[in-house]
Amino acid sequence: MLSRKNSLGLDLHIDVGGGLGSRSIEAALREAVTSGRLPAGTRLPGTRSLADDLGIARGTVVEAYTQLVAEGWLVSATGSGTRVAETRLPTAKTASDHTARLLDLRPGRPDLSLFPHPLWAASVKRTLAAAEGSTLDYGDADGLRQLREAVATYVSRTRGVRAEAEAVVITSGFTHGLALLARALRETGVCTIATEDPGMPHHRRLIEGAGLATAPLSVDAHGADPGALPSGAGAVLLTPSHQHPRGVVLSADRRAAFLDWAASRDAFVVEDDYDGEFRYDKEPVGALQAAAPDRVVFAGSTSKALAPGLRIGWLVLPERLRIPVLDAALLTGATVSAPDQLALADLLQRGDYDRHVRRARHTYRKRRTDLAARLATLTDVALDGVPAGLHAVLPLASPAEEKRLMDTGLLAGLRVQGLHAAGYWHSPACRRAGLIIGFATPPQHSWHPTLDALIRLLDGAAIAPW
């Protein structure tokens, strides 16, 4: 096994199996090509250079190259040297190959084909060209000032948040922000955080991973029930504008009750505004934070509006939590890259972010309308919650029916997700069942085929109101 630097200044690692004959070199290079370690178009060292590196006669390398050219693994041309050929290798079909071809209606992602690639690329180019050298140095734990100012302006204008740049901390998405908050709340003396039931299981794991307990907070048609708050809770995690996953809106009296509870118990409310830009029947409900900025943490991200892979989010913090959160950020070391922060700030400041959100909102509104209309041909049972967000819940008669539909869908090439199977309930015993339909997930070209596949799956299903 030899790794040598060739005349092009590149390292070339080949396994010659203990021999340096032409057959050994052939086999080593053939394996490197078939395994993908030497991709198509890779230029190989000259025969004289490789022979010198390996300490063998040049003729041995020439013989190996000649045989591989004859077999079609390599191509050789005067003046351009020897390169790996554009070979199409047969591959075994795997489970991952099948998975990649499945139509996907799982919730939690936007249509990634809508991502504004030209706008993002232009913002990166524009902001990097204008950036000072210090911008690319180690940054502050709360993020670049440009982005914090842009986020404060944006959430104040679009969600009614009371925010200034000093209150904003940039995070690597909401999950990172929640992990920081859990650590910070623990340092302030909080032992238990109440979370919605049903609610995101990953969020509960993050909280518990920080050493805190979680307690279930029941959700009905009016949102999370403040009457179910346990006496020992020091904070509550809510999705008040569009409860995830049920899609209901927290009622006005319950909003007031949660704020009264936080004030009377010296507690905090964490407001996860994960898809607040997407309401289709009316203007979205304003942020809870505006009524009590000293008690409510407002959390948002680009995951639903742009793409989860950007890993950019933000927290608008009460002053008491700012230092504990920044201390937690310094301990974890996770930050958003400066070029991405600059690009997002530019999109926000130029209005390109708003324009993209409006285009996406139009697309998702139409999809939800399509979904509701097609379901109406099968059942009188309505989708749970309000017309908003990137997903909707279809109530089912039982967990057994939920599992049957998921299994049948997978065999038919359609991925769907259930309330029980995904672990949304704190305790699954005797809980309602349903499909969480991520109508925003399919790319534009496959939305109608995916919807058709869903309707075929649901034909004859045990759909029943809760």
Instruction: Give the separation between CA 225 and CA 196, rounded to whole angstroms.
Output: 9
Residue 9: what residue type?
A: G
Q: What is the CATH number of domain 2-84?
A: 1.10.10.10
Cα separation, 465 vs 191, in Å, equals 37
The neighbouring-strand residues paired with 218 are 197
- Among 159, 444, 187, 128, which residue's Cα sits nearest to residue 300? 159
209-214: long-range contacts at Cβ-Cβ below 8 A with a sequence spacing of 24 or more?
209/179, 209/182, 210/179, 210/182, 210/183, 210/186, 211/182, 211/186, 212/182, 212/185, 212/186, 214/426
| Calpha distance 445→450 (Å, rounded) | 10
pTM of the predicted structure, to 2 decimals: 0.82
What class has domain 115-352? alpha beta
The residues spanned by each domain of the chain are 2-84, 101-111+354-458, 115-352
Written as tens digits, the pLDDT of the chain (466 aa) is 444 444 444 556 776 665 778 888 888 888 888 888 888 888 888 888 888 888 888 888 888 898 888 888 899 887 778 889 886 555 545 544 444 578 999 999 999 999 999 999 999 999 999 998 899 999 899 999 999 999 999 999 999 999 999 999 999 999 999 999 999 999 999 999 999 999 999 999 999 999 999 999 999 999 999 999 999 999 999 999 999 999 999 999 999 999 999 999 999 999 999 999 999 999 989 999 999 999 999 999 999 999 999 999 999 999 999 999 999 999 988 889 999 999 999 999 999 999 999 999 999 999 999 999 999 999 999 999 999 999 999 999 999 999 999 999 999 999 999 999 899 999 877 789 999 999 999 999 999 999 999 999 999 999 999 8
Q: What CA–CA distance (Å, rounded) separates 16 from 47?
A: 16
Third-level CATH fold of 101-111+354-458: Aspartate Aminotransferase, domain 1 (3.90.1150)
